[in-house]
């Protein structure tokens, strides 16, 4: 077992003995399930309306009515929930003085950062996997196109990974977990809101740059079923940038 694997195993163990994963996971799944239910009922109501108007069986587009709405709503849920999952990663180590132990172990800082990030990513992907029940069950009763659903899931995975990296960065900044969570919300909310600014500036260079920096349009394209290399590059580079910044912050704590 390499040091990175050892850190992943230890973090997973730490998450599963603390209530945080169960509470956050339950809330996440509850919201996902509830939103799915709402959008499905709404779609059903629309189908009945259409049927009455047309007088025969109506076909409704579940991809548009259920999944696009569902994935779009999940952005906000992820923004709230993921910083809570990541807040303990470095802050707790510093609070409990185990940080000094990690830093004096013969492993690189990049291994610590990577181990912690992968551990929480695995938990998140696990939760995302459970939500796969919704489209699977829906498939039994209805027909829809799987491709946009899969790209939507890819979007959720990439967006979640980026959010987790931001949360990890926030956690490295402080030894207070609550502060770490709020810094995480703050950064994510800022990147959400600047998409509004980008839209306001419209078709100008500044407008394009600002819109590109925000995660909104990249995620939206994936939810609509479009896989564009530029979006993948955006998530990939954003993720690497956040992990790099986390590395620098952790490194800098040695100098304080």
Partner 1 sequence: MIDVQNITKRYGHHTAIDRVTFSVAKGEVLAFLGPNGAGKTTTMRILTCFMPATEGTVRVAGFDCADQPLEVKRHIGYLPETPPVYQELTVTEYLTFVGRLRGMGGRNLTSALDQSIGRLELGSVRHRLIGNLSRGYRQRVGLAQALLHDPPVLILDEPTIGLDPKQIIEIRELIKSLAGSHSVILSTHILPEATAVCQRVVIISGGRIVAEDSPEQLSARLRQSEKISVTLKNPSADCNAKLREIPGVLNIFPGEQAGMFLIECTLGRDIRDEIARVVVSHHWGLLELRTISMTLEDVFLRLTRHEDGLTQPPATAHKGAPASQETTP
Which parts of this chain interact with partner 1 (CB under 8 A)?
A: 1-3, 5-7, 9-10, 13-14, 17-18, 96-98, 100-108, 254-256
Residue-by-residue DSSP string for 102-162: HHTSSS-HHHHHHHHHHHHHHHHHHHHHHHTHHHHHHHHH----HHHHHHHHHHHHHHHHH
Nearer to partner 1, 17 or 140 (CB): 17
> Shortest Cβ distance from residue 6 to partner 1 (Å)?
4
Nearest approach in angstroms of CB 103 to partner 1 is 5
Between 10 and 208, CB nearer to partner 1: 10
List of long-range contacts for 76-81, beta carbons under 8 Å, 24+ apart: 77/28, 77/31, 77/32, 78/156, 78/159, 78/160, 78/163, 79/163, 79/185, 79/188, 79/189, 79/192, 80/185, 81/24, 81/27, 81/28
**Judged by CB, which is closer to partner 1: 76, or 101?**
101
> And the tokens for 145?
């196109």
CB of 7 to partner 1, least distance (A): 8
Question: With respect to partner 1, which residue has the nearer C-beta, 229 or 256?
Answer: 256
Closest approach, Cβ 119 to partner 1, in A, equals 13
Between the alpha carbon of residue 102 and those of residues 6, 94, 130, 147, the distances in Å are 12, 10, 33, 43
Task: Give the nearer residue to partner 1 in terms of CB position, either 175 or 231.
Answer: 175
Among 133, 134, 148, residue whose Cα is nearest residue 61: 148
CB of 248 to partner 1, least distance (A): 15
Q: Could you tell me the smallest distance in angstroms from the CB atom of residue 97 to partner 1?
A: 4
- Residue 103 tokens, joined: 């830093």
Answer yes or no: are the C-beta atoms of 164 and 121 closer than 8 Å.
Answer: yes
Q: Which is nearer to partner 1, 103 or 118 (CB)?
A: 103
Of the pair 104, 229, the CB lying nearest partner 1 is at 104
**In the complex, least distance from residue 130 CB atom to partner 1, rounded to whole angstroms:** 23
């Amino acid at each position: 077992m390499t040091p990175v694997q050892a850190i992943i195993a230890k973090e997973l163990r730490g998450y599963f003995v603390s209530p945080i994963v169960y509470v956050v996971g339950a809330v996440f799944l509850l919201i996902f399930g509830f939103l799915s239910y709402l959008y499905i009922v709404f779609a059903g109501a629309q189908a009945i309306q259409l049927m009455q108007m047309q007088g025969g069986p109506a076909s409704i587009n579940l991809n548009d009515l259920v999944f696009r709405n569902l994935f779009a709503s999940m952005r906000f849920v992820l923004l709230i929930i993921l910083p809570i999952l990541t807040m303990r990663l470095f802050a707790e180590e510093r609070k409990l003085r185990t940080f000094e132990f990690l830093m004096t172990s013969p492993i690189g800082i990049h291994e610590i950062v990577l181990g912690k990030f992968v551990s929480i990513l695995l938990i998140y992907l696990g939760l995302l996997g459970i939500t796969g029940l919704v489209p699977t069950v829906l498939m039994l009763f209805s027909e829809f196109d799987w491709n946009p659903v899969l790209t939507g899931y890819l979007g959720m995975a990439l967006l979640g990974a980026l959010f987790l990296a931001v949360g990890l960065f926030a956690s490295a900044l402080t030894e207070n977990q609550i502060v770490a969570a709020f810094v995480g919300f703050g950064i994510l909310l800022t990147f959400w809101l600047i998409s509004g600014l980008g839209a306001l500036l419209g078709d100008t260079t500044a407008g394009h740059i600002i819109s590109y920096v925000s995660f909104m349009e990249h995620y939206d394209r994936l939810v609509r079923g479009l896989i564009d290399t530029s979006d993948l590059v955006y998530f990939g580079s954003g993720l690497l940038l956040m992990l790099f910044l986390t590395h620098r912050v952790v490194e800098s704590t040695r100098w304080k």
